[in-house]
Structures are given as structure tokens and as C-alpha cells.
């Protein structure tokens, strides 16, 4: 197939290109050339800003388009409208953040979506992100009826993650010592290795799948205890886990998702417990958690130290992680937890 990928050089995008190349497809990348511009010298690259114009694609023909970087309905409408005559199939990468109800577990693709009081806003924030993505989905399905695929990933993990929201855990646990963990250990969460998501996306495009699919995982309830113990086993560290209640974390103003990545309080836990039955039935498969942990640690070890000097010792400082509680704050919260009954 001749594939056009909008984006294609950052995290999921680069995994999509890798998967498509392995499958023997011909790829054109359309992006600004600002992120990893030297990646994939073997593929065609068209440098342009999608927010301004898709004119460089005029007259071209593609079997399928994959839009990895649409966040604002107006911009997505520009792309979908321009590319509808040029491609047979259009895949839009959305998010499980589109759901209106973040508490109810097990929601499927037909659950109600988030809405915005002002649908004209183009400011992408934590409050508007889900609603904007939902509007983008609406644009794509309306512009390409019967030939669009909407994929709603959960938290994406593995090598090249620019957020470090999964990376924090293997790296922190590899450092060893007492680790602050969100109780209870049997609570569940979800993530999907970017390589698994990419491989399934390319498969779905090849099959001309249409409709909407949640794409996170795994296909069984993944507990916090399994995640942390897998990180400890794979890294060979001496880490111990202190399970701290959500109420105490709130008292200490510990911020879910950013300071404790992959974790949200109970009133939002449905976001990390959606049904993936539809995607699994359509071929979505998952590598073992231990493989994602090992590969994440190996990738992190290759990351450069921060500019301006050598990084401090310790795997978490190569470079400093973009997510996760700082060592100093973690120690302070753990000390407060131990002192609460003194």
C-alpha cells in the first residue's frame, strides 16, 4: 500500500513507520521536519505545516492516510477535506479521553462522549483535550463516511515515550529503595506498548477496518502489584513498595497522573479501565509486560544527559524524567505516611 502519515517521527508515529516498513508498504511522511528530521531516510518526506496548507499533496494518490497529530477540529477538517479525494481510507488517532464519564469501568466505544461549552475553542488543555478529540472524530467520520477508522488509545508505553508516564516506573524501581506506590495493590490500570498499537493500526488499515476502537490493554485486568513487581524482577533491584492510600496522597497534594503516573483517583478510574474487546476481536495483541519494561529500561539508558553537563548518577537522571514524583518529595511523603500513627 501507499501510506500517507501525518506526523510519523515522534513516538507512536515512528513505531507506525517501522511497522509499515516491515510490512513492505510505501510511505510518505507529511510534517514540519522539526522532530527527528533525519529519521527514516528511505521514505519520502514532504515538509509543510498542516495548520497552514496541504497543497503539497495536491494531485497525489494514496491507499490510506494515518493522522497521528490532530487535536483541533478546524485543522483536522482541513486535512480530512483535502485528503478525502486523494485516499481510500483515513485513520484518525484519537484518545480514550473522549469519554464523558471517567468513573464507570468497562465502557465500550458507544459510551457518551465529552462535550465542550464552546466548540470553537482551539486551546488544548487538560479540560478541553477530550472534548476537542471527540469533535475531531466527528469531523473525520462526517467527511469520510464509511471509510474512516477512529482509534482511541489509552496511555502509550515503551521506547521513545516523550511523556515518561510509563517510563517512570521501571526507572524508579530500578533505582531501588523504598518506592511510593498507590494503594490498593490490587487496583487495576491500563497501558499499551506503542509497538503493539502501531502493529495493530497497520493491520487495521490493511484490512480496511472502519468504525471506532478502544486500543489499550492488556486483555486482562492488570494490577498495580503486577506492574511494580514486574519492574522489580526485570531490573533486578532491591526496591520495596510502600502502599499509600489515595486519601493520604490527596492530603499531601500529590498530583495524580503526573507525580504518580498511570494512576488516577477512584472518581476518574474508568479512564484506565475501558473495554478493549472490540479491538482484541479485530486482532489487537499484546507483548508481555516484562518485555515492555526491559525495552523501556534499555531505551532510557541510551538517552542523552541534559545539556550543560553530566547528569547526576542514577537511572532516573538520564535525562531527568518528565513525569513522576521527585526523589526529595517522595521521601517526604513516605516519611509523613510513616509518622501518621506516631
For residues 316 and 184, membership in a common domain is answered with yes
For residues 132 and 177, membership in a common domain is answered with no
For residues 86 and 181, membership in a common domain is answered with no
For residues 147 and 46, membership in a common domain is answered with yes
At residue 104, what are phi and psi to the nearest 5 degrees? -70, 125
For residues 179 and 91, membership in a common domain is answered with no
Decide which of 94, 126, 153 is a domain's last residue.
153
Would you say residue 215 lies in a domain?
Answer: no
At residue 10, what are phi and psi to the nearest 5 degrees? -130, 120
For residues 234 and 263, membership in a common domain is answered with yes
Residue from 82, 101, 80 nearest 91 by CA: 80
Decide which of 153, 176, 201 is a domain's last residue.
153
Would you say residue 326 lies in a domain?
Answer: yes
For residues 121 and 246, membership in a common domain is answered with no
For residues 176 and 144, membership in a common domain is answered with no
For residues 138 and 114, membership in a common domain is answered with yes
Would you say residue 108 lies in a domain?
Answer: yes
Would you say residue 194 lies in a domain?
Answer: no
- Residue span of the structural domain in which 176 resides: 168-189+221-269+290-304+311-339
For residues 133 and 52, membership in a common domain is answered with yes
- Please count the structural domains in the chain: 2
- Determine the 3-state secondary structure of 328 from DSSP: helix
Would you say residue 281 lies in a domain?
Answer: no
Q: pLDDT by residue for the chain (342 residues), tens digit each?
A: 999 999 999 999 999 999 999 999 999 999 999 999 999 999 999 999 999 999 999 999 999 999 999 999 999 999 999 999 999 999 999 999 999 999 999 999 999 999 999 999 999 999 999 999 999 999 999 999 999 999 999 999 999 999 999 999 999 999 999 999 999 999 999 999 999 999 999 999 999 999 999 999 999 999 999 999 999 999 999 999 999 999 999 999 999 999 999 999 988 999 999 999 999 999 999 999 999 999 999 999 999 875 544 444 444 456 789 999 999 999 999 999 999 865
- What's the grid cell of residue 168? 517512570
- Determine the 3-state secondary structure of 306 from DSSP: coil
What CATH number is given to the structural domain containing 131?
A: 3.40.50.720
Decide which of 97, 130, 153 is a domain's last residue.
153
pLDDT of residue 340: 86
How far is 12 from 315, CA to CA, in rounded Å?
Answer: 24
For residues 117 and 179, membership in a common domain is answered with no
Give 253: exposed, middle or buried? Use CB within 10 Å, 0-12, 13-18, 19+. Answer: exposed
Would you say residue 255 lies in a domain?
Answer: yes
Would you say residue 184 lies in a domain?
Answer: yes
For residues 182 and 105, membership in a common domain is answered with no
Residue 26 forms beta bridges with which residues?
Answer: 2
Would you say residue 276 lies in a domain?
Answer: no
In terms of DSSP bridges, do strands 188-189 and 26-31 run parallel, antiparallel, or are they unpaired?
A: unpaired
Amino acid at each position: 500500500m501507499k501510506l500517507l502519515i501525518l506526523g510519523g517521527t515522534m513516538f507512536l508515529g515512528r513505531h507506525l513507520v517501522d511497522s509499515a516498513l516491515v510490512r513492505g508498504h510505501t510511505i510518505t511522511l507529511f510534517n514540519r521536519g522539526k522532530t527527528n528530521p533525519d529519521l527514516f531516510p528511505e521514505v519520502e518526506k514532504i515538509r509543510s505545516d498542516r495548520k497552514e496548507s496541504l497543497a503539497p499533496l495536491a494531485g497525489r494518490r494514496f491507499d490510506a492516510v494515518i493522522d497521528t497529530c490532530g487535536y483541533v477540529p478546524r485543522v483536522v477538517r482541513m486535512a480530512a477535506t483535502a485528503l478525502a479525494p486523494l485516499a481510500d481510507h483515513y485513520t484518525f488517532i484519537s484518545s480514550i479521553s473522549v469519554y464523558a464519564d471517567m468513573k464507570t469501568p468497562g465502557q465500550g466505544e458507544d459510551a457518551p462522549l465529552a462535550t465542550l461549552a464552546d466548540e470553537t475553542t482551539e486551546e488544548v488543555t487538560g479540560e478541553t483535550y477530550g472534548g476537542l478529540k471527540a469533535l475531531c472524530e466527528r469531523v473525520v467520520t462526517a467527511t469520510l463516511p464509511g471509510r474512516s477508522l477512529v482509534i482511541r488509545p489509552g496511555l502509550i508505553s515503551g521506547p521513545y515515550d516523550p511523556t515518561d508516564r510509563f517510563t517512570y516506573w521501571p526507572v524508579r524501581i530500578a533505582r531501588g529503595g523504598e518506592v511510593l506506590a498507590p494503594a490498593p495493590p490490587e487496583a487495576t490500570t491500563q497501558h499499551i506498548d506503542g509497538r503493539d498499537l502501531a502493529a495493530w493500526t497497520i493491520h487495521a488499515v490493511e484490512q480496511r477496518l472502519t468504525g471506532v476502537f478502544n486500543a489499550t490493554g492488556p486483555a486482562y485486568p492488570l494490577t498495580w502489584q503486577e506492574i511494580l513487581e514486574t519492574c522489580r524482577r526485570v531490573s533486578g533491584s532491591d526496591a520495596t513498595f510502600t502502599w499509600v492510600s489515595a486519601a493520604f496522597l490527596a492530603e499531601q497534594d500529590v498530583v495524580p497522573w503526573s507525580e504518580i503516573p498511570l494512576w488516577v483517583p477512584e472518581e476518574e478510574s474508568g479512564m484506565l479501565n475501558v473495554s478493549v474487546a472490540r479491538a482484541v476481536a479485530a486482532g489487537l495483541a499484546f507483548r508481555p509486560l516484562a518485555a515492555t519494561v526491559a525495552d523501556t529500561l534499555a531505551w532510557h539508558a541510551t538517552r542523552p544527559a541534559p545539556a550543560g553537563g553530566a547528569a547526576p548518577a542514577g537511572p532516573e537522571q538520564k535525562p531527568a524524567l518528565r513525569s513522576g514524583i521527585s526523589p526529595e518529595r517522595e521521601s517526604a511523603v513516605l516519611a509523613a505516611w510513616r509518622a501518621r500513627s506516631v
